Structures are given as C-alpha cells and as structure tokens.
Amino acid sequence: MVTNARAYRARAAVVLVVALVATFGLTHQTALAAPSAIAPAAAAASADRIAGADRYATAVSVSTAAFAPGVERVFLASGADYPDALSAAPIAAALNAPLLLTAPNALPSVVAAELVRLAPTREVVIVGGPGVVSAAVEARVAQLGFTVVRVQGVNRYATSRALIERSALPSTTMYLATGRNYPDALAAAAAAGSVGAPVMLVDGALSALDGATLQLIAARDVDQVLIAGGVGVVSSAIEQQLAGLGYAVQRLAGADRYATAVAINTFAFPTATRAFVATGVGFADALAGAVYAGIERAPLYSSSPFCLPRGTRVDIVERLRAERVTLLGGSGVLGPLVQELQSCSTPDDDRRTSEAELSSAIQQRLRTLPGTYSVSVRQLDGLQASVSIRGAVAQEPVSVIKVFVAYAALDRIERGQLSFATPTRSGVSIGECLRVMIHVSDNFCHHDLVALLGVNSLSAQLSDEGYSSTVYWGAPSASVPYSNKLSSTDDLALLLSRLERGELLNAELTAHFMTLLETQLWRSKIPSGVAAGVPVANKTGSAWAAAGWFHSDAAIVSAPSGPYVIAVLGSGGATVTGVREISRIVFEHFNGALVTPGGFSELNAVTAGPVTYFSDGNTSSPLGTIPADTVLAVTSSERTWYRVVYNGAGVFVHSSGLRNAVDYPRSVR
C-alpha cells in the first residue's frame, strides 16, 4: 500500500523510466525524466502567460511552447466539450505528446498548421467518436499526410476506458474523477500525467462503479486509487466499494474546485519549481495546459478569473515557493490581479467569482440542450450573486407572465381599488380567478383579470415599476383566452425577488401570493431540479408553435443555503428536461451536489369527497360521480372547472371538490 506522496512519486518515476512500454509505443527516449529535488530559491512575484486568440489557438500556443517538431504522436480532441480531452491529457503527458483541440466539424487552420509544424512521425490520435470529432476532421488530418487512429467508446466513460486500455501505462496508481464536470479532473490530469498514471472518468453520482470499470482497474493491477473531489462529485458509495475490494483508496478534496486542486497538488507535488494556473470557470485553455504541466512535473491550479483564491496563492507562493508561474489563457479569462498573483480578499471578489462559475456552468449546459433559453438568477442571501444570460431579451413568456397579473390584481386590492370578492367579466370573483390562474394556470381567468385591470393600465404600471420588457397589447375578448404579450427573465427575476423580500405587497398579501405559488400543480421543471423537500414557489408555462415548444418557469427557491430566484424562458424546441437541468445546475452551485431531486407525479389531485363530473364544464348533464379520495391527473381548466382524466376519459369537475394529491413543501414566513 502506498499512501505517502513522496514515495508514490519516486516509485512511479522509476517505473516509468525503466518499464513504460505501451501499446501507443512509448520508448525510453519519450519517458519522463525523474523529478528535480532542487528547492526553488525564491517565489515568483508575477506570472507569465500562454494564450491565443481562442481555445484552439491557445492549445497551439501551449504546443509551440512545449514541443519541438518531430514528435511521435499528437492527440486531437474536441474543443467543444471537455471529457475526451480530459482523459487524453495525462496519457499525452506520459507519452510526451501534444494535445490539440479541434472544432467538431472542421479542423481550424491554426491547428492544421501546428500539425504540419509538429510533423508527428507515428500517428495522430483522434479521441472520441464521429459525433464529437467528425469524419471530415479525420479526413482533413489524413489529407495532411498523417496516419490517423481513432480511440472511442459509446460514451465519455467508455472512451476514457479505451484510452487507458490502449496506453497500458504501467503505473499501479489510478486517479478517478467525475465525468459530469471538469475542474477536479483538470488538476488530476496534470498530477497523474507527471508520474504516468491515468485519470479514469466515472459517473460519480452512481452508488457503484460498473463492471467494465472494475474489470479495467483489476486488469491494470492497480493498488492505489486516488479520488479527485468530494463526495458530492464522486460518491462515498464508490469509495466504499473500492475499499471493500481491497484497493488503497484516498480522496483528495477541498471545499470547492480551487481547494480541491490545492489538495491534489499538495499530495502530488511535495516540491515543484513551476506552477500552472487556469481559469476555474472554463475548461478549454486548461486542457492542453494539463499536458504541459504533466510533462514539466508541475502542478495545475484553478483560479477565479479576477484574483487568485487565497488557498491557491498560499500553496504556490508560500508552500512551493514556485520560481515560475504560467497562466493558461488571455487576460479575458485570467485578469491582471491573477497575473500579479494577488489573492481574492473582498466579498465582491467572491461574488464575482461565484457569478462567473455559475454563468459558465449554465452556458456550458445550454450548448448541449435543444432550443433557445434565457436564464436569470438572483441569490437573495449571502454573496447576492446575480447571473443574466439573454436575460434582457423581450420574448414570449407563455403562462409565466401570469405572476405579473397576479401582482397587479393584489396591488389594487391592497390599495382598496378592488377586493377578492370583485367579480370579473365572467362572474368569477377576483379571488377565485387568482387561485385558478396560478393553481392550474387557467387561461380564461388570466384574461378575465387582464380585461378587468386594463391592458394599457397594466402595461403602464409594469413599465413604471421597472419591468421594462414586460408588456401586453390588444384587449383579449371573452372568447379568446390568449393575448399578445412579452416579458424577460430579468423582469421575472426582479418581480420574484421583490416578492420574496416583502417589497411588493403587505405581509398578508405577500403570504397569500406565496401560498398560491407554493401550492400550484405544475412541478416538472424548476421544482424537479432541486432537492426533495425544498419549498419552491413557481409559475410555469408551456405552449406549442410552428418553431417548436415553449417551456418556461420562474420560481423562488427556499434552499438550505438561502433563498434564490431563477427564471427560465425556453423557445424554439425547448424541453421540460432542459429547464429542469438548468434548475439543477443553479441549485447545485449554491447548495452542493443534488442527491435526491424532487419528484412529482402527474396524478396531482385527489377528490375531497364524492364529486360529480361532466363532459364540459357543467354545461351538460352530469355523467356520474367520482368517489372520494380518488387520485386524478388534472390536465387543463375552464376557469373554476378542471379537466381531469377519469377511467381513461377527460371529464370536468368543479375545482372546489379537489385538493392537491401532495402537500408541497412550504416556506416558513
């Protein structure tokens, strides 16, 4: 069993020098040199920088700095996502090979030129299937005159295993990192690459490793497994599974991505004369840099874009006293304070870092989701981080806009202009219309209320109060339950923030509004992307158009770490899953890994007693009676009449005869 970092590194270095013979064809000439034992004379006062115009050019700049022409091989991976390049980085470092990035469907000219300069004598290894690096890219590389080999699997985890199997690195240590995110694996890639150990990506959310992963670990005669990251990214169940199989398991983790990188580097690098730093809110610049760091036997750290995390600076400057620090990426990703090795020291530094991390995580996921999304997030406690992605864009908000109508009606009630008993044009009271407009997202009562409030008056009020993108136009008729309207996620987030803080209405009406939102029926989007038991006050909406589905939601989430507001407007083929995924990313950013998400059945109502049912909203003769305590699925409504599925058919019952099938979590006020 090897638990001491110095012993581990020394043993691995010896193994590499005398025995590293891989399927890739590693020779003694390409084996890594033993680490230097010379302590640095003085810590660096500032950092140098390797950068390019974009992620592809930055990878080329790293390659140019690290490699002379005539390498044996070059690894080529997609620059659009991180998993395949992450798995390739430590292997490329062990094989003394560059790692370049490519666009999925075309080889950038700067990358083609670098391939020509490097002139690999043996092969170009494309990492990943044609879905991530296309056949057109493969053909272009072959056209340049190089032998092309593709290493791939059915998914990121299988590709990771395929790379490890083909490399046959002799180290008996293996790093494990989650394939669901990149920060922990990046630091691990440099540490592993420096001693010829692989990094295997796993689905860290699972309770056990699959058979293929366990078989590969066993086949490599691994005796030590190093887990990169905390239990939120690689579960404790996986750790226990490996320990139970007789492996020496050690977890290298910190409180966040920056502290985890420090923990990995403290273990793997007792000494180092050089350190590399990459942004912790993006993966592209660090991918090729992880190879360079591995070859240089140097640690790779993550940083805020604005300043060095305190623990990172301490580790680089005080523990290692690194003589040289190299930043990976331009000033747009690592700013002047990072280059001056200045640590984050104010709450504003922490807030900006939090915002950058969250924005990066959301945008990374948006690139893989169908449809187009706007997202606004406001943290109401703590750092009060705020993120807006297309948040000011005025667009079709579908039924989410009903929160503005509910507010305007309640505001007039507070001012004494209306009351809950005031009838709308249909005869249904304001109080009842507010209830069903939110509870079941009723369109008829929505427009009864809009007609009562007045389109021009409503739009003017919203504009005067700072909701600059929210407007109605055209008066809806009694027979048309839809209207022309626009809003934005920034406006929705502002309204809900004011509601949660008690800035919209008096305490009694605020509580009433929150009750409406926390008990409404539709919970498949934002509420299903947070932990079970967390109160969510939300208003959702969906609609179909020729360009595809609209799926939207806006909510106040009363999370364990403090409340926050999230608004998502999706269009052009957006999905329920997409909104839910965005919700999950935001929840995990503020609260850590989501273990048990909220789950809500389509059977969302139950009869409070025997209920008479009709074919169409009580305009026909009764069809029969639904027994008490019958669980039903509400599908739509006509004001206070709810359409439910009973015995396989759609029928109508009065909403007064139903109650929620589930007592949804409620916030304490």
Delineate the domains of the chain, giving CATH numbers in brackets. 1-33+170-268 (3.40.50.12090), 35-51+271-345 (no CATH), 55-168 (3.40.50.12090), 361-591 (3.40.710.10), 605-660 (2.30.30.40)
Q: In whole angstroms, what is the distance from residue 287 CA to residue 101 CA? A: 9
The predicted structure's pLDDT at residue 668: 79
Amino acid identity at 422: T
**Sheet of strand 73-78: strand arrangement:** 99-102, 73-78, 123-127, 148-151
pLDDT of residue 621: 86
Mean pLDDT, residues 212-236 taken together? 95
Task: Please state, in angstroms and rounded to a whole number, the distance separating the CA atoms of residues 475 and 484.
Answer: 9
- Is the predicted pLDDT of residue 5 greater than 90, yes or no? no
Residue 39 has pLDDT above 90, yes or no: no
**Which tokens go with 410?**
């309640």
Q: What is the pLDDT of residue 169?
A: 87
The per-residue pLDDT for range 276-303, each reduced to its tens digit, is: 999 999 998 899 999 999 999 999 999 9
Overall average pLDDT of the 487-491 stretch: 99
Alpha carbon separation from 635 to 309, 411, 638 (Å, rounded)? 50, 30, 11
pLDDT for position 479: 56
State percent of the chain over pLDDT 70: 92
Structure tokens at 658: 């139903």
Whether 2 has a pLDDT exceeding 70, the answer reads no
Helical pair 55-66 and 284-295, crossing angle rounded to 10 deg: 10
Residues 61-90 have pLDDT tens digits of: 999 999 999 999 999 999 999 999 999 999
Residue 221 has pLDDT above 80, yes or no: yes
List, for residues 551-584, the tens digit of each pLDDT value.
Answer: 999 999 999 999 999 999 999 999 999 999 999 9
By mean pLDDT, which of 71-75, 121-125, 598-602 is the weakest? 598-602
The pLDDT of residue 26 is above 60: no
> Above 90 in pLDDT, residue 53?
yes
What pLDDT is attached to residue 10? Answer: 39
**Average pLDDT value for the chain:** 92
Averaged pLDDT, 357-368: 95
Give the pLDDT confidence score for residue 517 in this predicted structure: 99
* 249, 2 contact by CB (below 8 A): no
DSSP 488-507: -HHHHHHHHHHHHTT-SS-H
What number is the average pLDDT over the span 419-447?
Answer: 98
Read off the pLDDT of each residue in 177-185 and give the average, rounded to a whole number.
93
CA distance 59 to 72: 18
Q: Indicate if the pLDDT at residue 474 is higher than 90.
A: no
pLDDT for the residue 476: 57
pLDDT, tens digit (0-9, with 9 covering 90-100), for 500-518:
999 999 999 999 999 999 9
The DSSP secondary-structure symbol of 526 reads G
Instruction: Specify the pLDDT at position 170.
Output: 83
